[in-house]
Amino acid sequence: MIAAVRATLGPLPRYTAIERATSGGPELLDEGATIGRRVLALPDRNEDMGAMLARHLMWRMEERVGDGSVTAAVLFQAIFDAGLTYVAAGGNAMALRHHLQAAERVALAELDGLAVKVEGKEMLTRLAMAVCFDAELAKVMGEIFDIVGEYGGLDIRKGRGRDLEREYVEGMYWEGRLLNRELGTDLAKMRAELEDAAVLVSDLEVYDTRDLAEFLGRCAEAGIKTLFIVAKHIAAEPMGMLMLNAGKLTVAAGRMTASADTARDDLQDLAVLTGARALHADAGDKITSARVEDLGKARRIWTDKDYLGVAG
């Protein structure tokens, strides 16, 4: 397993060729976590156990920081080989574990001391170049991350030609989640994304199907085709009605999951960004009192299992 990914480590891209299970030529890969995912099992039971442990390590590294999977794998093998030699020579495995844990703290402290903060367009471009090995793309990425900053969102889409295009759109996102995956536009990712949508901003709980139907009727009469509902909770029956209504009106629903101390302020921020009037349950607002004039507008609004965001 480690031998298959070690060749890709370093400043210049080198590839590992993997035979495809289906027809076609070999697959050329230079990314450790993806190579590891291609390995499903090894014939030897003991070797397979170690390979799956290394595979999981690389994929966790990829998910957490997006890079460093091959470095982690090479370090893993070096520590394992040295530890195996020590134990085979009569060393105590538990004592080795305590020494490794102590060494980990020292190594992390040293790495923190050597760390250099990446800032500015030039440094960001050099970092991007180390990842993509494409000067033109690296220059664009350096510009993008310099403008959007540490907490900016980046949405990558297929282009219409060979040129690299970028567009900057003001927006914001919060902790949130999709209220029902059946209303999602991407069921695999548990994500709903609507464009040019009317937005109801609220912390309401909806239990009565008739109340929700009355509100949707007013939206339909006003010619609204796409609607995003931000609510605290929608019960099973009105949620079922939303799914049945999907053919007439494209609807998605999400909620903010911030703490009670910040939830009201977050709703107000979303209302300001979209031009909506926020409806609050503690102010006596109900879904039946929502008017078309209370709705905001968003060029794009989305939610998944972790966040809710709006752009434009």
pLDDT digits (tens, 9 = 90+) for 79-99: 999 999 999 999 999 999 999
Predicted local confidence at residue 108, as pLDDT: 92
Would you state the pLDDT for residue 159? 76
pLDDT at 246: 55
Q: Which residues contact 127 (CB under 8 A, 6 or more apart)?
A: 118, 142
**pLDDT reported for residue 181:** 78
pTM (two decimals): 0.53
Backbone angles phi, psi at 160, to 5 degrees: -100, -5
Residue ranges, the chain, pLDDT below 70: 11, 13, 21, 23, 245-247, 260
What pLDDT, on the 0 to 100 scale, is given for residue 247? 57
Distance, CA of 18 to CA of 73 (rounded, Å)? 18
pLDDT on residue 13: 66
Contacts 24+ apart (CB under 8 A), 270-277: 270/172, 270/174, 270/199, 270/201, 270/230, 270/296, 270/310, 271/201, 271/296, 273/171, 273/172, 273/298, 273/310, 274/199, 274/201, 274/298, 274/301, 274/310, 276/199, 276/200, 276/201, 277/201
Cα separations in angstroms, 193 against 59, 183, 311: 27, 10, 11
- Using DSSP bridges, classify how beta strands 205-206 and 233-234 pair: parallel, antiparallel or unpaired: parallel
d(CA 61, CA 67): 7
Instruction: Report pLDDT digits (tens) over 20-30.
Output: 767 677 888 88
CB 81 within 8 A of CB 2: no
What's residue 104's pLDDT?
A: 92
End-to-end CA distance of the chain: 46
Domains of the chain: 2-114 (1.10.560.10), 121-168 (no CATH), 172-311 (3.50.7.10)
